[in-house]
Amino acid sequence: MITITEVSELRDKLSTHRVAGRSISLVPTMGNLHEGHLELIRAARKDSDIVVCSIFVNPLQFGPDEDLDNYPRTIDEDSEKLIQETCDVLFLPSVSEIYSNSLSEQTIIKVPSITVEFCGSGRPGHFDGVATVVCKLFNMVQPDIAYFGLKDYQQFLTIRKLVRDLSLNIDIKGVEIQRDRRGLALSSRNSYLTEVELESAPLIQATLREIAENIVKGAANFDVLEQEAVSNLSRQGMDTEYLAIRNAENLKPAGEDDDNLVILTAVKLGKCRLIDNIRFNRKP
């Protein structure tokens, strides 16, 4: 694996592979890699000749009261993991390499509609930052395929819409959520949880599964299902930011004719904000 820090070198290196007819995939990350990230690398390895992983903690997607400075940075450990997974290129740019101007003067990409609710309302400007940096990475790498974890499902749909709307010739692939032995969705932020919190956190996924099972059995009052789930999580000491049953293709409120559904949630447990979702068909 080679490590590249400058866009010009990255383009030169990938141009050689592109001319030779090799397919190129991109796995964008913010580092502190765990099994969920590595599953993206494995999927990319199966589908393409050259695998590029970017590690960049993107300041544009953090709010003023969020954990940018404290976000875990583990480059040495991440590099070793990528080598083990036979990643070809680690792109490790600085902030100035990605954003040559000050952030206040940066051109921003806004993906409408799908980013308004949920993490979009709870973290104003977050998806603008995500869309902007991902679009820049797409232009820098020019991959044939890019991989995103489905834990950040709203983000996945946002990137998919961005690619469609801007007519980018990139195949966007989602990779299933990876979980620990308890069922908790893997996340870099799980390191903030205490042992007691780690034991109770899997209730989030269990709650979503219970809602999905009830819907498959015929439950149709989604408002009641959502309210009961929020109350259940509250009794376990969890503060629910949102919990919603939606159309899985566009995140619009699910109607009686919608069969492809997703249940999304964001929950505050201790100092940690956890997101999770479950996708299912009402008529399996």
17 noted as active-site residue: no
Residue 211, burial from CB neighbour count under 10 angstroms (0-12, 13-18, 19+): buried
Please give the sequence-ordered ranges of beta strands (E in DSSP) within 75-234, or none if there are none. 89-91, 145-149, 171-175
| Structural contact between residues 276 and 182, judged by C-beta atoms closer than 8 angstroms | no
| Structural contact between residues 245 and 254, judged by C-beta atoms closer than 8 angstroms | yes
Q: What is the dihedral of CA 10, 11, 13, 19, to 10 degrees?
A: 160
Residues near 56 by beta carbon (within 8 Å), at least 6 away in sequence: 28, 29, 30, 31, 91, 92, 93, 98, 133, 137
**Which of 17, 34, 37, 126 is flagged as catalytic?**
37
Catalytic machinery residues:
37
